[in-house]
Structure 1
Amino acid sequence: MELRQRALEVLRLCDPEEKSAAALDMYAQAARISIATETRLTAPPADTLPGRPARPQLLHHTAVARRSPATPEGRAVLIHAIAHIEFNAINLALDAIWRFAGMPETFYRDWLRVAAEEAKHFRLLRDHLRRQLHHDYGDFPAHQGLWSMCEKTADDIVARIALVPRTLEARGLDATPLIQHKLRQVGTPDALAAVAILDTILREEVGHVAIGNHWYGWLCTRDGLDPVAHYAALVQRYEAPRPKPPLNEAARRAAGFSEAEMRWLQHG
């Protein structure tokens, strides 16, 4: 098995169970997998990326309704939304593996780890939806904001690493404790079980954002770019969202954000 070609094949899979299982299987075989780091793979038709199921229905993010987690239906909507983010995150990691040639082998192994952990997160959340909330992935509408940024940065690896893992995914570091607080206030067994799942996700997402920060710093050093100034330029060029306060400062620092970056994120 060659990792980058296989990542593209898995990215195109439509069934969530099959895709998550394949990502985990790739990671299980990591020690034996070869990586054609210099090969430039031929991109398939854009409308085949990523492979996704017929459901959930995809809407603009402003059209996706939010509901209070005080009700079982509201908690199902919330967990479904997070599961959709994790499903997209599998795709984002796989896309980074196949799309960008010429990086060190450790780059591809890092994103393979991310893809597998995102697959684990998706499965934890989907199982919770089914067992605790009597719903399944696809039962509610979702949005495609994460993949939209993936498409916009398809030709610029620096922008991709700056704006997907360390911007969009880093927002999860800020949002997760707030979500957990609301679920603890609800206090039902399913809500508290969801808090425990989110503990696992938050801990591992710190590592994913750290991988993004590491490779963004590596790319900036390679290309002679100032990380803070170039990040500000990329945010403006690609109209990336700013983080919503309060920031999870401890998690962001643990993920490798510098003090200069923290000041920019807080004050611009």
Structure 2
Amino acid sequence: MSDGETLVEAALRVLNTPDPVEKAKLGDQIANKWLQGLISNAYHTSQQPDIVVPDRPARLTNVKLVSPSLMPKLGKAGSLQSRQAIVHSLVHTESWAIDLSWDIIARFGKQELMPREFFDDFVRVAQDEGRHFTLLAARLEELGSFYGALPAHDGLWDSAVATSKDLFARLAVEHCVHEARGLDVLPTTISRFRNGGDNDTADLLEKVVYPEEITHCAAGVKWFKYLCSRSKAPNGDDESDEVIEKFHEIVRAYFRGPLKPPFNEAARISAGFGPQWYEPLAVKDFSK
């Protein structure tokens, strides 16, 4: 790591690293240096050409990509083939989650003049996502498969592209919709692995991935509220109806279709937002 490198410059190096294994390792190194104070600045404050954040991070071509509608059914973890398919899907999601975390730092941190705590939070998210990827990829190999053995889709990054010019939208859609959807489905996924006799995968999801994903969703909620409060008078109420209405407006503009119940209300409350945030978005007719 070069002397004087800023966090945004380091984030760009992660985004430009194609191998997800190396991406996770590099991200972990950078995160540790930032959190230990060994990287002093989030970005340069002097006159300097703006860093160009790639529209699409560097990726290997070993994973066959298909449309989400053409993805094979994953099954319910009752067979080894199904368990491999589910873990492969999770590994792919985590590989994109690494990029999403570094992208929000590089793309929006300086542009929106976000405080240091914003960088701290998403560095921790990035570090967690890298660990999730590494652990799940190793578990996939223990199950007799490997990342790239099955097709995958890039719907998660499609949402990142759609929200690339609006931090409100990025936080709402990626962290308060997609990540919250993960909170909704993970308990069922964990139960399916246990019922299928795979306690190792169930434990990994239950003890490591699930609780940390709650904190990732919480980061999205926290910084969405911050943006709302910053745009209002000082000491504004970040739990006001205006905040929730703003959330509804953003999700309806940037997310296709209604949200899918059932919702994991307990986990969502732990992440900082209650049913009034998402239940109105579950109706089929957004005009209601």
Q: Secondary structure at the match of 2:133?
A: helix
The one-letter code sitting in structure 2 at the alignment partner of 1:112 is V
- The corresponding residue for 1:23 is 27
Q: Which residue number corresponds to residue 169 of structure 1?
A: 179
**Contact 1:161/1:216 (<8 A) preserved:** yes
Q: What per-residue deviation string (whole Å, max 9, x for no partner) do you get for residues 152-206 of structure 1? A: 111111111111111111100001001112112112xxx2111111111010000
Instruction: Give the deviation of 1:34 after TM superposition.
Output: 2.2
Unmatched segments (≥5 aa) in structure 1: none
CA-CA distance at 1:87 after TM superposition: 0.8
Q: CA deviation at 1:218?
A: 0.2
Q: Count residues in correspondence.
A: 262
1:54 aligns with 2:58: no
Distance 1:36 1:181 in 2: 41
Report the counterpart of residue 217 of structure 1 in structure 2. Answer: 225
2:244 is matched with: 228
1:1-268 pair list within 5 angstroms: 1-30=5-34, 31=36, 32-37=38-43, 41-44=50-53, 46=55, 49-68=56-75, 69-100=77-108, 101=110, 102-131=113-142, 133-187=143-197, 191-199=198-206, 200-224=208-232, 226-265=242-281
1:43 offset after TM fit, Å?
1.7
Aligned counterparts of 2:54 and 2:182: Cα–Cα separation in 1 = 30
Of stretches 32-41 and 96-105 in structure 1, the one that deviates more from structure 2 is 32-41
The code of the aligned residue for 2:246 comes to H
Whether the 8 Å contact between 2:163 and 2:170 is mirrored in structure 1 is: yes
User: Shift in Å at residue 148 of structure 1?
Assistant: 0.7
- Structure 2 residue ranges without an equivalent (≥5): 233-240
Query: What secondary structure is seen at the aligned counterpart in 2 of 1:143?
Result: coil
Q: TM-score, normalised by structure 2?
A: 0.86
Deviation at 1:245, TM superposition (A): 1.8
Work out the CA distance in 2 between the residues paired with 1:215 and 1:240: 22
Q: Which has the larger radius of gyration?
A: 2
Shift of 1:41: 3.2
Q: Which has the higher helix share?
A: 1
- In 1, Cα distance between the equivalents of 2:181 and 2:187? 11
Between stretches 227-236 and 37-46, larger displacement belongs to: 37-46
Report the CA distance between 1:226 and its aligned residue. Answer: 2.0
Q: Quick one: structure 1 residues 263 and 44, their matched pair in 2 at CA, closer, same or farther if it must change by over 3 Å?
A: closer
Q: Give the 3-state SS of the residue equivalent to 1:216 in structure 2.
A: helix
Find the aligned partners of 1:28 and 1:256 in 2 and give their Cα distance. Answer: 26
Alpha carbons 1:235, 1:241 under 8 Å: kept: no
**TM-score, normalised via structure 1 length:** 0.92
* Alpha-carbon distance between aligned partners in 2 of 1:241 and 1:195, rounded to the nearest angstrom: 31
Q: Percent identity?
A: 34
Amino acid corresponding to residue 128 of structure 1 in structure 2: R
Q: Which amino acid aligns with 2:204?
A: I
Shifted more, 67-76 versus 84-93: the winner is 67-76
Q: CA deviation at 1:264?
A: 2.9
Rounded to whole Å, the distance in 1 between the matches of 2:147 and 2:158 is: 20
**Residues 65, 151 of structure 2: 8 Å contact kept:** yes
> More displaced, 195-204 or 65-74?
65-74
Letter in 2 for 1:28: N
> Per-residue deviation at 1:211?
0.7
The alignment partner of 2:121 has SS state of: helix
Per the TM alignment, residue 242 of structure 1 is displaced from its structure 2 partner at its CA by 3.6
Aligned-partner residue type, residue 58 of structure 2: G
Q: Please report how far the alpha carbon of residue 241 of structure 1 lies from its aligned counterpart in structure 2 after TM superposition.
A: 4.8
Quote the RMSD (CA, aligned, Å): 1.8
